């Protein structure tokens, strides 16, 4: 270890739900194991887990890039990391202001705005669906009139499937636009047919290094909320190579070079088509599954070591086992009881599980990730075993609503 004290700024902290707390505390513990002092900036009022682990905690504006750079100016940190999607542009400005490794702010702005990212990928020679940035319903109707459907309507810069809808015919467009979280500009694009995956990795010495490919399972349209994931995806070697080649080409073309990446894509008959690109860890417990599938991996610790110039060669391996997550999707109604949950908690292969609904709660339509009723994360020796176990355990959970209907999620 270097005798000079090293410091890390955890910009924006983590969201206060179970997933966010696990990500945030894991990052801080991995920093502490490397004898790196930590400070955290937050906007949420109650973050006891972060307060207990961080050297100091600051409350400040974490999403505004100009305010973030002003706060950071004149300070010095060896590493600056952030895990929340909404803080990534501000994070890049902070890293530049304090002289720490980071991605160019302009590159992060590009990937945060879905239309600009699609255009940049197209200019790099990577296939992309037809799309348009729309300011109102009339502009969206004009785009539909000149293209073939189905189409996807989505916010320009949101995450967690918030406001994402499928439009099968023009008569459905107005409802999809009305479901957007704000009246700001939004993106309409052609639907891409094919199974969905994501590619997880890190930048080491500025070069992208793929760690694993994750298979996605989605709830039925018109919304596109994830029902589960399997890591690693059970793929032919040739297809995995094509995924990795497309992702690394895109990351380099976008001038990204630091931290963790999570890149979504579709596998089509004509090859991979890249979707959204994120310069952060994947959500939905992918960080936990990744560290289970690659024994000994510390995802955030790997990035910290790289930022400090330490050797990372022996820390990087490929998955030798597998993990899966399933999310519970109860039907709308008032929950009267939950059956079978104890069976899930008693299973020795469950890595993490939690219910987010219980008796007395009212459940609505699942339109974004936060609407799901709970999750089950399991580990196994192979992707198939992990997927089958997650399905089997989820099927044993019955969330009974007041109409008498049951949900097998």
How much of the chain exceeds pLDDT 70, in percent? 95
Q: How many CA atoms lie within 13 A of 252 on its CB side?
A: 14
Mean pLDDT of 76-84: 97
Any idea what the CATH number is for the domain that residue 312 is in? 3.30.470.20
**Residue 313 falls inside a structural domain:** yes
User: Do both 234 and 335 map to the same domain?
Assistant: no
Mean pLDDT of 334-351: 96
Any idea what the CATH number is for the domain that residue 94 is in? 3.40.50.20
User: Do both 312 and 352 map to the same domain?
Assistant: no
| Whether the bond into 150 is cis, omega within 30 of 0 | yes
Q: What is the pLDDT of residues 15-41, one digit of tens each?
A: 888 999 999 999 999 999 999 999 999
User: Do both 184 and 155 map to the same domain?
Assistant: yes
| Structural domain that includes position 87 | 6-100
Residue at a domain's end among 279, 303, 320: 320
User: Do both 382 and 331 map to the same domain?
Assistant: yes
- Cβ neighbours, 10 Å, residue 151: 26
User: Do both 335 and 262 map to the same domain?
Assistant: no
The total domain count for the chain is 4
Q: What is residue 368's predicted lDDT score, i.e. its pLDDT?
A: 84
Q: What is the pLDDT of residues 246-299, one digit of tens each?
A: 999 999 999 999 999 999 999 999 999 999 999 999 999 999 999 999 999 999
Q: pLDDT-based confidence at 409, cuts 50/70/90? A: very low
**Residue 122 falls inside a structural domain:** no
Mean pLDDT of 202-216: 97
**Residue 109 falls inside a structural domain:** no
User: Do both 73 and 164 map to the same domain?
Assistant: no
Residue at a domain's end among 297, 320, 343: 320
**Residue 333 falls inside a structural domain:** yes
Tokens of 41: 């900036």
Assess contact for 214 and 231: CB atoms under 8 A: yes
User: Do both 200 and 310 map to the same domain?
Assistant: yes
**Residue 124 falls inside a structural domain:** no
The pTM for the full model equals 0.92
User: Do both 57 and 80 map to the same domain?
Assistant: yes
**Residue 384 falls inside a structural domain:** yes
Residue at a domain's end among 150, 167, 190: 190
**Residue 75 falls inside a structural domain:** yes
Question: Is the backbone of residue 161 left (phi > 0), alpha (psi -120 to 50) or beta?
Answer: left
Parallel/antiparallel/unpaired status of strands 374-380 and 350-355: antiparallel
Assess contact for 408 and 398: CB atoms under 8 A: yes
- Cβ neighbours, 10 Å, residue 301: 22
User: Do both 307 and 327 map to the same domain?
Assistant: no
User: Do both 213 and 287 map to the same domain?
Assistant: yes
Q: What is residue 48's predicted lDDT score, i.e. its pLDDT?
A: 83
Any idea what the CATH number is for the domain that residue 162 is in? 3.30.1490.20
């Amino acid at each position: 270890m270097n005798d000079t004290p090293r410091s890390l700024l955890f910009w924006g902290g983590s969201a206060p739900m179970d997933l966010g707390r696990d990500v945030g505390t894991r990052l801080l513990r991995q920093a502490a194991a490397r004898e790196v002092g930590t400070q955290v900036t937050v906007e949420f009022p109650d973050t006891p887990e972060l307060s207990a682990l961080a050297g100091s905690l600051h409350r400040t504006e974490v999403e505004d890039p100009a305010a973030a750079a002003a706060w950071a100016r004149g300070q010095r940190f060896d590493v600056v990391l952030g895990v929340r999607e909404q803080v990534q542009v501000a994070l890049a400005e902070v890293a530049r202001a304090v002289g720490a490794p980071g991605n160019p702010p302009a590159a992060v702005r590009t990937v945060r705005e879905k239309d600009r990212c699609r255009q940049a990928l197209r200019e790099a020679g990577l296939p992309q669906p037809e799309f348009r940035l729309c300011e109102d319903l009339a502009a969206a109707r004009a785009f539909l009139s000149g293209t073939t459907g189905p189409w996807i309507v989505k916010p320009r810069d949101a995450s967690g499937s918030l406001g994402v809808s499928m439009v099968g015919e023009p008569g459905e467009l107005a409802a999809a636009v009305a479901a957007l979280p704000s009246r700001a500009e939004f993106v309409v694009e052609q639907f891409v047919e094919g199974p969905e995956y994501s590619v997880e990795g890190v930048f080491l010495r500025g070069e992208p290094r793929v760690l694993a490919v994750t298979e996605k399972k989605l709830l039925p349209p018109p919304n596109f909320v994830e029902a589960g994931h399997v890591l690693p995806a059970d793929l032919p070697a040739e297809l995995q190579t094509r995924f990795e080649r497309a992702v690394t080409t895109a990351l380099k073309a976008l001038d990204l070079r630091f931290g963790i990446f999570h890149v979504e894509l579709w596998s089509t008959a004509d090859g991979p088509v890249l979707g959204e690109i994120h310069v952060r860890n994947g959500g939905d417990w992918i960080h936990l599954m990744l560290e289970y599938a690659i024994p000994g991996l510390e995802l955030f610790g790997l990035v910290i070591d790289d930022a400090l110039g330490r050797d990372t060669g022996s820390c990087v391996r490929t998955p030798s086992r597998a993990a899966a997550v399933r999310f519970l999707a109860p039907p709308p109604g008032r929950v009267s009881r939950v059956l079978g949950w104890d069976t899930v908690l008693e299973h020795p292969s469950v890595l993490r599980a939690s219910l987010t609904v219980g008796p007395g709660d009212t459940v609505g339509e699942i339109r974004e990730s936060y609407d799901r009723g709970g999750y089950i994360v399991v580990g196994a020796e192979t992707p198939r075993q992990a997927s089958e176990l997650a399905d089997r355990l989820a099927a044993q959970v019955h969330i009974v609503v007041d109409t008498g209907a049951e949900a097998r999620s």
